[in-house]
Amino acid sequence: MSLYQTQKLKVYNSLTGEKEVFEPLSEGHVGMYVCGPTVYSNVHLGNCRTFMSFDMIFRYLKHLGYKVRYVRNITDAGHLENDAEDGEDKIAKKARLEQLEPMEVVQQYTLDFHSILQKFNLLPPSIEPTATGHIIEQIEIIKNILEKGFAYEINGSVYFDVEKFNETHEYGKLSGRKLEDMIANTRELAAQDEKKSPQDFALWKKAEAQHIMRWPSPWGDGFPGWHLECTAMSTKYLGETFDIHGGGMDLKFPHHECEIAQAEACNGHAPVKYWLHANMLTLNGKKMAKSTGNNILPNEMFSGENNILSKPYTPSVVRFFMMQAHYTSILDLSDEALSASEKGFQKLMDAIDSMEKLTTGPSSSFNVEEWKQKGYDAMNDDFNTPMLTANLFEAVKRINLIKEGKETITQKDKELFIETMHGFVFDILGLENQNSAMLNSDKLSSVVGLLIQLRNEARANKDFSTSDKIRDQLAAMGIQLNDGKDGTTFSLN
RNA sequence: GGCAUUGUGGCCGAGUGGCUAGGCAGAGCUCUGCAAAAGCUUGUACAGCGGUUCGAAUCCGCUCGAUGCCUCCA
């Protein structure tokens, strides 16, 4: 029996604006598509938060026993600077500016993307398709939409006819917009455009002579529009209808709205059952923007080479910090908030490290099963990781009380306690214990053990200058001695 | 200007009609040779103004602020 049969998950569906019981289309299987990055620059911290949120969701679904097919694309073509006639492809622009082949740009930033996500301990998706690898599929979809009459060709480009679509479908239902309002708002702009209406969006763009990224199509040489790739790849790997579509809040409109329109125009029915949107990350209360300098790259955080934070933070601390907020809330990153998380994270890891050594007794003074279910309840409530975290600190308190002899635990409960704690912290939240490798090193622990022994001998002889020297110099090296009831242990800072 | 989200104690951040979220920081105590660590105790917070209600941080309205989208952005 799988966990998902007993743990009832609810998710907040952006499409309906409500928390709904999660029921996959096919029992035991979940198809999830998440919009990946456009690889034209280094991945920034805000991007990482989104992917980390969906990594946590992926991990939890797997933990529940679902067989998950997680598709996250790489946009390596088609993402235009704007939708106007002279709109330039982001990759192509970067390639032109840096005098590189477009695929060199793609390769460079794809590698950067993977390397950063790996540091944050994100699991790789099941499939990571690229837009350029699915040009044929995209062309097929355009043909299909043209046949159905929801698109028109002009000068070698093909545009989606939003007004036509809206006659029989509802354009704007995801973002809560009404087409009439949008038209009313843009009427005065009167763009000089080959599009029939400013709301229309490109399915295929004609490549001008100087354009370096180009593919042949029934409408001449060109390249696909941005929204199309996600429809093509999600349909190919997950089917015409799948369970979860995720992405950043900022993609809700127009990108996801257009995806819905394309898929409905093509297949006549909605593509996605649950739309999940991760919220933005701000920096010192303000939007992250390269233009204002209010921006930080992950590697700059890890190395400490930046003007924003007082010191370096490890990927796991940053991940813990992000997991302390709900994925649908705006999260503000600041030095003060991060260093608070760092201390909390350390406390959590120290407690976990000490669990194996807990002494057991004939009875448990608290209900481990109950505590465990509280953790699941939190996760089942739309992946409420902050509540799960609060519950983890409840465990930390119990662990420390057991160490002090003020609480007791049976051997059986201890095993359950450790297993559950590891499941929540490492499997679901995806945190990594940077101490454990060091702590588990026999050499280090025996060396420190020797020093602890020498210190205790000095203390017994009231030679406090020696004992304090050992303690303080170890502390200076980042090894902290903890005098407890049953002797001295150590932890790493 | 339009649409959406949002405004919680010193900081971060859950909750969402009545019952302590949690972390960090601060104060007191216990333990300790002194510390540290750990434990215990401690915070009368919910932007403002009205309304609904026996009761609202939680629902409704208005005002103010923030964020996202409306051209590209996770």
Furthest-apart CA atoms within chain A: distance in Å: 93
Nucleotide nearest to A50 (CA to C1'): B74
Based on the structure, what is the number of domains in chain A? Answer: 3
Strand spans (E) along A130-271: 151-154, 157-160, 201-206, 222-224, 242-248
Is the ipTM above a cut-off of 0.85?
Answer: yes
The gap between A4 CA and B42 C1' (Å) is 42
Co-location of A313 and A401 in the same domain: yes
Co-location of A107 and A122 in the same domain: yes
Find the CATH number of the domain harbouring A164: 3.40.50.620
The gap between A344 CA and B17 C1' (Å) is 33
Question: How does residue A81 score in pLDDT terms, banded at 50, 70 and 90?
Answer: low
Ramachandran assignment for A128, one of left (phi > 0), alpha (psi -120 to 50 degrees), beta (any other): beta
Determine if residue A35 is labeled as part of a ligand binding site.
yes
- Give CA–CA dist A351/A354, Å, rounded: 5
B15 closest protein residue (CA to C1'): A387
Co-location of A123 and A259 in the same domain: yes
Domain that residue A459 falls in: 436-492
Find the CATH number of the domain harbouring A405: 1.10.730
Determine if residue A290 is labeled as part of a ligand binding site.
yes
Q: How, if at all, do strands A242-248 and A29-34 pair?
A: parallel
- Greater confidence, A489 or A291? A489
The gap between A407 CA and B33 C1' (Å) is 28
Nucleotide nearest to A483 (CA to C1'): B37
Determine if residue A258 is labeled as part of a ligand binding site.
no
Contact present, A298 and A45 (Cβ < 8 Å): yes
- What average pLDDT does chain A have? 89
Which of A399, A404, A403, A492 has its CA nearest to residue A448?
A492
Domain boundary, last residue among A247, A278, A309: A278
Question: How does residue A189 score in pLDDT terms, banded at 50, 70 and 90?
Answer: very low
A208: Cβ contacts below 8 Å, ≥ 6 apart = none
Interval A402-412 mean pLDDT: 91
The gap between A243 CA and B34 C1' (Å) is 61
The gap between A331 CA and B45 C1' (Å) is 19
The model's pLDDT over A2-15, given as tens digits with 9 standing for 90+, comes to 999 999 999 999 98
The model's pLDDT over A122-136, given as tens digits with 9 standing for 90+, comes to 999 999 999 999 999
Co-location of A382 and A472 in the same domain: no
Co-location of A467 and A343 in the same domain: no
Question: How does residue A193 score in pLDDT terms, banded at 50, 70 and 90?
Answer: low
Contact present, A219 and A204 (Cβ < 8 Å): yes
A447: Cβ contacts below 8 Å, ≥ 6 apart = none
**Beta partners for residue A34, in sequence order:** A72, A246
Domain boundary, last residue among A249, A278, A307: A278
Residue type, A421: M
> What is the per-residue pLDDT for A90?
78
Which of chain B's bases lie under 7 Å from a protein CB? 1-6, 10-16, 21-25, 32-40, 66-74
Nucleotide nearest to A184 (CA to C1'): B2
